[in-house]
Amino acid sequence: MTRSIVIAALLLVGCSGGGTGSSSSGTSGTSGSTCPRDLPQSCPSPEPSYATDVAPLIQAKCVQCHAPGGVASDRPLTTYAHVNALKQDVLDQVYNCLMPEPPQPALDETDRQTLLGWLVCGAPDN
């Protein structure tokens, strides 16, 4: 349910540029009452860089599980190609505060905005 809403939001922001209808999905979900559910409305300027902003963040917060030997090694996030292939799911998981999983603490607001902003930019290899 929320997944399709979020993906629709991504498509709206990503493709049409400057979406109008701010359909705030009012129902706060069950998981994590503190989840801010804040998706940047447009690609931030300057664009977050994969190489200098996003990759180190994922390295620090995700790859202990999402790499060979980790509990989610079937979904590696160790290269740009991996992340790009999973970008829709990454957006969904991070937007809804489902990832990172415990015991890794939730992303702080700066990291959230970096990662979600980069995804709204279309996940460039920059």
Binding site for ligand HEC (CB under 6 A): 61-62, 64-66, 71-72, 75, 86, 89-90, 93-94, 99-101, 104, 107
CA dist., res. 68 & res. 73, Å (int): 5
The nearer residue to ligand HEC, 19 or 86, going by C-beta atoms, is 86
For the record, the structure tokens of 76 come out as 């590696």
The nearer residue to ligand HEC, 19 or 72, going by C-beta atoms, is 72
Smallest distance from ligand HEC to CB 88, Å: 8
**Between the CA of residue 44 and those of 3, 55, 63, 120, 124, what are the distances in Å?**
23, 17, 25, 8, 13
Smallest distance from ligand HEC to CB 18, Å: 27
Smallest distance from ligand HEC to CB 95, Å: 10
CA dist., res. 26 & res. 98, Å (int): 18
